Amino acid sequence: MSGPAASRRADGISFALLLPLLLAAQPVATDSYLPALPAIAREMGAASATLTVFVLCFGLGQLPCGPLADRFGRRPVLLTGLACYTLTAMGCVLATGVPMLVVCRGLQGFAMAAVLVCARAAVRDLYPAHEGPHVMARGLTGLGVVALAAPLIGAAAVQWGGWRWVLGGMGLYAAVLWALCARYFHETLVAGAPGAPRGSLREVFASQRFRAWASVAASTYGGIFCFLLFSPMIYIDYLGFSPAMYGWIPAGGSLIYVFSTTMCRRLLRRFGPVRTVQIGALLSIGGPTLQALGCWLLPMSAWPLLLGHAVFVLGHGIHQPCGQAGAVGDLPHLAGRAVSWSGFWMMLVAFVVGQIAAAFVGPDNSSGAWPMVVPMWLAGVSLVLIAFLWLPRLHAPRLQQRKDTSS
């Protein structure tokens, strides 16, 4: 093999090793930050806004990053995003108040958008549509390994050094990743490929498969975001866990996530994407149902919350690779735009749901764990409806067409 094909194959090998680290930039910025939220709130008077603004800016930042990556290539946009991620993390370390911290975290969200858009678009550049969910599942398995360590390191940093050490660690991670990408990440966009046509955004939204699979990714992320947003206050302030003890909860969830993404690959090979997502949907509704029963019958017990979270994460590890890869599967020529709008939809749903649920959180935690549990349950309901009513209607004609062709 020689020429462009060989070059793209070499890029694929290098990219397969970098993909988990690139995707892990998100849990490094969120999961390691969770144990720091109560400490930031005690020192500065507020903390949740730093996470919600980060998520909102991450969603908005994907909108320009997709077209930029389609026009100028994945590599320059990716390296610029990693450089800004590093600088904004250092700005967070030096923050003297909530406004500066919120601004720096918001800018960090914009920077992270460039990183994840380019990573996900490169998957579609290098692999055909039917391999996309498998590749994303492998990448997200690696993400889970990094996410496993992130909250534990964050909790240790908060307990022994203070919350600023967590943000400094984010900057160090991004700086090392920038150096790796500068050396090993080669451009994956085909040189000389024609630019996206005018009105290409309309083509993205005209795809029913894009809308359906993007909704899968958005629904499951909306549920997990409510865990990220409210679990520190519930477990630390309401149930009395120490930051170090709490750190094991998202870490345990990451371990389950690693198992789930591995299970996802096996389910895809055996059942295909629709049946796989249906299995995940049952897990996504079952977990919050267990949590709701715990809130009703055992409001001060952590065990129903922990068990329900574990079951929900099993479903999340199935939905994320399928949803993210499925949203861009039919749009290889518009991969950047499809990825950016899918990611924006994920973050918008998470932000809106988080803001609505936050209105029911009182200073004395009188609502218990319900502000976290109810949105997760609604996410499960949404996934069940999509998996059993929407996706089968989209894939049935395609399966019939394959049978007719084979016969």
- Domains of the chain by range and CATH? 8-187+200-400 (1.20.1250.20)
Q: Which of 122, 380, 330, 40 lies closest to 210, judged by CA?
A: 330
Query: Within 13 Å, how many C-alpha atoms sit on residue 40's CB side?
Result: 31
Which pLDDT value is given to residue 192?
47
Which pLDDT value is given to residue 232?
86
CA–CA distance, 108 with 167 (Å, rounded to integer): 11
Which pLDDT value is given to residue 335?
83
Q: Which residue has the tokens 């077209």?
A: 67
Each residue's pLDDT expressed in tens, for the chain with a length of 407 residues: 333 343 344 344 577 789 999 999 988 998 788 788 888 888 887 777 888 788 889 889 999 998 899 888 999 999 999 999 999 999 999 988 889 999 999 999 999 999 999 998 988 888 887 788 888 888 888 888 887 888 888 888 888 888 899 999 999 999 999 999 999 898 888 754 444 444 467 888 889 999 999 999 999 999 998 998 899 889 988 999 987 788 789 888 888 998 999 999 999 999 999 999 999 999 999 999 999 999 999 999 999 999 999 999 999 999 999 999 999 888 887 888 898 999 889 888 988 898 899 888 877 777 889 999 999 999 999 999 999 999 999 876 554 454 445 44
Which pLDDT value is given to residue 397?
57
The one-letter amino acid code at 81 reads G
Q: Which of 310, 342, 328, 323 lies closest to 386, judged by CA?
A: 323
Torsion 378-379-380-382 (CA) sign: positive
Torsion, CA 102, CA 151, CA 343, CA 192, rounded to 10: 100
Which pLDDT value is given to residue 252?
87
Which pLDDT value is given to residue 140?
87
Q: How many degrees, rounded to 5, is the angle at CA 100 between CA 158 and CA 149? A: 30
Which pLDDT value is given to residue 396?
65
The full 3-state SS of 89-104, as one line of letters, equals: HHHHHCCCCHHHHHHH
DSSP one-letter string for 52-74 = HHHHHHHHHHHHHHHHHHHHH-H
Q: Which residue has the tokens 């299970």?
A: 263
pTM (two decimals) = 0.78
Ramachandran bin of 45, using left for φ above 0, alpha for ψ from -120 to 50, beta for the remaining angles: left
